[in-house]
């Protein structure tokens, strides 16, 4: 896919994103044929932000999540600074069609992991992490029927990135905790409570982090110092509605909360 086509595809998706509308699919002439083409479309998003790239997200890190959106493995997306909110903020509900909130571990990188020929090992990636944060992701899609859009179109659509809530920094003891077995409890007001564990994130959030370091490496992209990677939901996504309040309890690591407007 040439740059002109990638930009044109990205512009269509961004237009729908800004207007809160959806499309059935990208036109055949602009539709990415594979993951490399799809990431080329996604990369054009950085040009619309006035700030440095905040970080990355990983979607479809559980078998159920992969089945739900019709992909056979995880996919990566960009977190633009304009998508980021903070603990306790009230987010615009807007035209969100997915209507779910996800509890996630988010890793802040302390040094670059540049592209290289050999894959990064898990411990190498963890050694490059400076901090762990607790987070909530609110995904969405620009496709009318995102469950049939396919991996390439979903990657082009930024892997369903929409809003991201950066919560508190976890205590440094996180490095000595088995995150795969760590329990998380999510609540939507008083009407819904759901539990999950870190193992729902590709078996371990640290494995997911290693996956994206290597995914970016194959694309010739550096996972850079200062960027934050949110690694996927620990629990079955919580159904949300306008005016809801959401809280995610990570036990000894802390809690993160957000609310939504009534429209």
Asked, for residue 222, whether it belongs to a domain, the answer is yes
Stretches where the chain sits below pLDDT 50 are none
Asked, for residue 12, whether it belongs to a domain, the answer is no
Which CATH number is 203's domain given?
3.90.850.10
The reported pLDDT for the residue numbered 171 is: 98
Domain range for 256 is 51-260
Tally of structural domains, the chain: 1
Asked, for residue 122, whether it belongs to a domain, the answer is yes
Confirm if 134 and 248 have CB atoms less than 8 A apart. yes
Asked, for residue 10, whether it belongs to a domain, the answer is no
The reported pLDDT for the residue numbered 67 is: 86
Confirm if 59 and 154 have CB atoms less than 8 A apart. yes
Asked, for residue 227, whether it belongs to a domain, the answer is yes
Question: Would you call 187 exposed, middle or buried from its count of C-beta atoms within 10 A (0-12, 13-18, 19+)?
Answer: middle
Asked, for residue 24, whether it belongs to a domain, the answer is no
The reported pLDDT for the residue numbered 90 is: 98
Asked, for residue 96, whether it belongs to a domain, the answer is yes
The reported pLDDT for the residue numbered 64 is: 84
Asked, for residue 46, whether it belongs to a domain, the answer is no
The reported pLDDT for the residue numbered 245 is: 98
The reported pLDDT for the residue numbered 246 is: 98
């Amino acid at each position: 896919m040439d740059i002109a086509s990638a930009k044109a595809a990205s512009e269509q998706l961004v237009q729908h994103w800004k207007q809160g509308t959806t499309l059935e699919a990208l036109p055949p002439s602009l539709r990415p044929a594979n993951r490399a083409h799809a990431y080329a479309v996604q990369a054009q998003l950085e040009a619309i932000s006035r700030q440095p790239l905040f970080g990355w997200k990983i979607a479809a890190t559980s078998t159920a999540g992969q089945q739900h959106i019709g992909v056979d493995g995880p996919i990566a997306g960009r977190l633009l600074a304009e998508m980021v909110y903070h603990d306790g903020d009230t987010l615009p509900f807007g035209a969100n069609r997915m209507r779910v909130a996800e509890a996630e571990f988010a890793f802040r990188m302390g040094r670059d992991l540049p592209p290289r020929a050999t894959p990064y090992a898990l411990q190498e990636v963890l050694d490059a992490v400076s901090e762990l944060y607790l987070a909530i992701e609110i995904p969405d899609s620009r496709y009318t029927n995102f469950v049939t859009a396919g991996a390439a179109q979903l990657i082009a659509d930024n892997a369903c990135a929409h809003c991201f809530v950066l919560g508190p920094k976890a205590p440094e003891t996180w490095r000595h905790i088995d995150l795969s077995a760590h329990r998380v409890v999510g609540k939507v007001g008083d009407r819904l409570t759901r539990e999950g564990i870190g193992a729902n994130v590709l078996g371990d959030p640290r494995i997911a982090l290693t996956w994206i370091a290597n995914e970016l490496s194959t694309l010739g992209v550096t996972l850079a110092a200062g960027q934050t990677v949110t690694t996927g939901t620990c629990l079955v996504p919580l159904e949300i509605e306008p005016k809801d309040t959401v809280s995610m309890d990570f036990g000894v690591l802390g809690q993160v909360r957000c609310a939504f407007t009534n429209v």
